Structure 1
Amino acid sequence: MQRFRTVVAAVTLAVAAAASLTACGDDADEGASGAKVLKLWHYEGETSAMGVAWDKAIEVFKQEHPGVEVRFERKAFEQIQQNAGMIINSSEGPDVMEYNKGNATAGLLSKQGLLTDLTAEATKRGWDKALSPSLQTTARYDDKGVMGSGNWYGVPNYGEYVMVYYNKDLFDRNGVKVPTTLDEMTAAMDTFVAKGITPLGTAGAEYPAGQLFYQLALAKADRAFVDNYQLYKNPVDFKADPLKYGADTFAEWVKKGYVGKGTASAKAEDMGTAFIAGKTPMIVSGSWWYGRFKAEMKANWDSFLFPGNKLHAGSSGNIWVVPATSKAKDLAYDFIDITMRPEIQALIGNNGGVPVSADPSKIADPKDKKLIENFNAISSTDGLAFYPDWPVPGYYDVLVSGFQGLINQSKSPDQVLDAIAKPYDEGVAEIKRG
Structure 2
Amino acid sequence: MLTARRRMAAAAVILSGALLLTSCGGSGGGGSDGKTLKLWHYEGPDSAMGVAWNQAIHEFEAQHPGVKVKFEEKGFEQIQKTASMVLNSSDAPDLMEYNKGNATAGLLSKQGLLTDLTAEAAKRGWDRKLSAGVRTTSEYDSAGIMGSGKWYGVPDYAEYTMVYFNKDLFKKYGIAQPTTLDQLTSAMDTFVRHKVTPLANAGAEYMAQQYLYQLALSKADRSWVDRYELYKGKTDFHDAAWTYAATTFADWVKKGYIGKDSTSAKAEDAGVSFIRGKAPILFSGSWWYGRFQQEATFDWGTFLWPGSNLTLGSGGNLWVVPKNAANKELAYDFIDLTLSKDIQNLLGNKGGVPLAADASAVTDPKSKALIQNFDTLSGRDGLAFYPDWPVNGFYDVLVSETQKLMTGGEKPDAYLSALQKAYDAGAPKR
- What TM-score range do you get, normalising by the shorter chain? over 0.9
- The aligned counterpart of 1:6 is 6
CA distances 1:151-207 after superposition (whole Å, capped 9, x unpaired): 000000000001110111111001111111111111000000000000001100000
Asked if 1:231 is matched to 2:230, the reply is yes
Distance in 2 (CA, whole Å) between partners of 1:309 and 1:189 is 18
SS in structure 1 at match of 2:323? coil
Distance in 2 (CA, whole Å) between partners of 1:253 and 1:108 is 35
- The aligned counterpart of 2:411 is 412
User: Could you tell me the TM-score, scaled by structure 1's length?
Assistant: 0.94
SS in structure 2 at match of 1:274? helix
Distance in 2 (CA, whole Å) between partners of 1:330 and 1:407 is 49
Deviation at 1:7, TM superposition (A): 2.8
State the superposition RMSD in angstroms: 1.7
CA distances 1:344-366 after superposition (whole Å, capped 9, x unpaired): 00011000000011111111111
Deviation at 1:223, TM superposition (A): 0.6
- The aligned counterpart of 2:26 is none
- The aligned counterpart of 1:56 is 55
Same amino acid, percent of matched pairs: 61
SS in structure 2 at match of 1:265? coil
SS in structure 1 at match of 2:399? helix
Q: Is the 8 A contact 2:4 2:99 kept in 1?
A: no
Distance in 1 (CA, whole Å) between partners of 2:205 and 2:2 is 11
Deviation at 1:37, TM superposition (A): 1.4
SS in structure 1 at match of 2:4? coil
Asked if 1:372 is matched to 2:384, the reply is no
SS in structure 1 at match of 2:310? coil
The alignment covers a number of residue pairs equal to 418
Deviation at 1:212, TM superposition (A): 0.5
Distance in 1 (CA, whole Å) between partners of 2:71 and 2:10 is 19
Within a 5 Å distance, the mapping from 1:100-115 to structure 2 comes to 100-115=99-114
| Segment of structure 1 superposing worse, 31-40 or 316-325 | 31-40
Distance in 1 (CA, whole Å) between partners of 2:220 and 2:20 is 39
Q: Is the 8 A contact 2:164 2:301 kept in 1?
A: yes
Deviation at 1:83, TM superposition (A): 1.8
| Segment of structure 1 superposing worse, 5-14 or 399-408 | 5-14
SS in structure 1 at match of 2:165? strand
Distance in 2 (CA, whole Å) between partners of 1:212 and 1:172 is 24
- The aligned counterpart of 1:125 is 124
- The aligned counterpart of 2:253 is 254
Letter in 1 for 2:421: K
Q: What residue ranges of structure 2 are gaps of 5+ in the alignment? A: 22-29
- The aligned counterpart of 1:181 is 180
Within a 5 Å distance, the mapping from 1:304-383 to structure 2 comes to 304-383=303-382
Q: What residue ranges of structure 1 are gaps of 5+ in the alignment? A: 18-30
Distance in 2 (CA, whole Å) between partners of 1:15 and 1:315 is 31
SS in structure 2 at match of 1:161? strand
- The aligned counterpart of 1:166 is 165
| Segment of structure 1 superposing worse, 79-88 or 395-404 | 79-88
Compared CA separation, residues 281 and 338, structure 1 to 2 (3 A):
same
Distance in 1 (CA, whole Å) between partners of 2:19 and 2:429 is 35
CA distances 1:264-312 after superposition (whole Å, capped 9, x unpaired): 1000000001110110000110000000000111111111101111001
Q: Is the 8 A contact 2:205 2:265 kept in 1?
A: yes
Letter in 1 for 2:429: K
Q: Is the 8 A contact 1:10 1:78 kept in 2?
A: no
Deviation at 1:408, TM superposition (A): 1.6
Within a 5 Å distance, the mapping from 1:74-93 to structure 2 comes to 74-93=73-92
Q: Is the 8 A contact 2:5 2:317 kept in 1?
A: no
Deviation at 1:34, TM superposition (A): 4.2
Letter in 1 for 2:302: S
Compared CA separation, residues 335 and 15, structure 1 to 2 (3 A):
farther
- The aligned counterpart of 1:292 is 291
Compared CA separation, residues 388 and 2, structure 1 to 2 (3 A):
closer
Deviation at 1:69, TM superposition (A): 2.0
SS in structure 2 at match of 1:162? strand
Distance in 2 (CA, whole Å) between partners of 1:348 and 1:358 is 9
Deviation at 1:3, TM superposition (A): 4.7
Distance in 2 (CA, whole Å) between partners of 1:15 and 1:43 is 13
Deviation at 1:32, TM superposition (A): 9.6
Letter in 2 for 1:189: M
SS in structure 2 at match of 1:415? helix
Letter in 2 for 1:290: Y
Deviation at 1:35, TM superposition (A): 2.2
Deviation at 1:406, TM superposition (A): 1.4
Distance in 2 (CA, whole Å) between partners of 1:407 and 1:421 is 18
Distance in 2 (CA, whole Å) between partners of 1:75 and 1:420 is 30
Deviation at 1:8, TM superposition (A): 2.4
- The aligned counterpart of 2:429 is 432
- The aligned counterpart of 2:25 is none
Letter in 1 for 2:419: I
Distance in 1 (CA, whole Å) between partners of 2:126 and 2:139 is 12
Distance in 2 (CA, whole Å) between partners of 1:151 and 1:413 is 39
Compared CA separation, residues 350 and 10, structure 1 to 2 (3 A):
closer
Letter in 1 for 2:271: G
CA distances 1:346-395 after superposition (whole Å, capped 9, x unpaired): 01100000001111111111110010010011012111000000000111
Q: Is the 8 A contact 1:102 1:147 kept in 2?
A: yes
Letter in 1 for 2:123: K
